Amino acid sequence: MYKLIILSVIMLSFAGCASSLKDPNADTRKTVFVLGTLHGGMFSNPDYSMLDFQKAIITYNPTHILTEVRSGHPGAVAGSIDGGIEQSLVYAIADRLGAEVIAVDWFDDEFIQEYLTETPMNNQAYEEEVRILSEEISHYISVADMVFWNGHKINGLLRRQDEIYEKYGLMATLKRNKRLCENIHNALEKIKSGRILIIFGAAHKYYFDDFLKENANLKLISDMADWYDPEMADRITFDEDINTAAINTLKESKELLKTRLESNFYQPETEKRLEGKYLAIDRAIENFLKLSEENVLSLE
């Protein structure tokens, strides 16, 4: 129960995907930061808003963005269906910055079925351990700011949550994240140099950081506070074109989703997962329009 609540806001994670990537003679021409998002929660959290999210990406000024869109279904339109609503913004901002977007997510119908049916039945100890952590994490979703969600304290809580899942034999999370590590590794291998931003649900951050620390070819920045300058971000003005591009992408996503559902494009497990996506897309469009109205008025 509590696992599904967290899934609706922030996706999965598990630590321990370290690999033997170290090369003592390599240089570090690639700087990497993992930016954890709250997906649709950024519409309701005033201290980690969609506008904060935009400003963070622009401030970091990446040359490459590795993002939570399935590698087999890349692009802003498909990505906004399969992944978080914020993918519509990721591609719009990348287009403005001239950054390359690389889809590195992974899941399939078999995995969705495995994840949704994987639960220790009638295990009171599990329910109690998960409940305590889930309540604390859920509290932060609406009140904690962007720097907190990309810092050490929340990562510790999310790490502990996944340790509980593993303790009780819930291994689907580990399976998915091993595949994500492979995709990230393959993408990074093809990048010779640059400022790389990895954008995923916040629950992935500690896990990816653990993985990236093992790669001596990279300069990893783990804590957002080590590079993010709020005053510099505040000087970034609202970009109506980016917002409009996100809205148009979501409208296309809704039409594509309709076509796919009517043509039996999805397997039953995936179709069930997407039952509420129409409403989520409509809600996102409404919120982006509201964001535009508020910021245009403030500039007048």
Q: Is residue 80 part of a domain?
A: yes
pLDDT-above-90 percentage for the chain: 65
Q: Is residue 49 part of a domain?
A: yes
Q: Is residue 58 part of a domain?
A: yes
Structure tokens of 125?
Answer: 């100890």
Select from 21, 79, 49 the least CA-distant residue to 200.
Answer: 79
Q: Is residue 295 part of a domain?
A: no
- pLDDT at site 17: 47
Q: Is residue 256 part of a domain?
A: no
Which residue matches tokens 């929340």? Answer: 154
Rounded CA gap, 157 and 146, in Å?
A: 16
Q: How many folded domains does the chain comprise?
A: 1
Q: Is residue 82 part of a domain?
A: yes
Q: Is residue 274 part of a domain?
A: no
Mean pLDDT of 190-196: 96
Q: What does the CA dihedral 73, 78, 82, 85 come to, rounded to 10 degrees? A: 140
Condensed to tens digits (0 to 9), the pLDDT of residues 137-188 reads 999 998 999 999 999 999 999 999 999 998 998 888 888 888 999 999 999 9
Domain residues for the domain of 113 are: 2-19+26-223
Q: Is residue 243 part of a domain?
A: no
Q: Is the pTM of this model over 0.85?
A: yes
pLDDT-above-70 percentage for the chain: 89
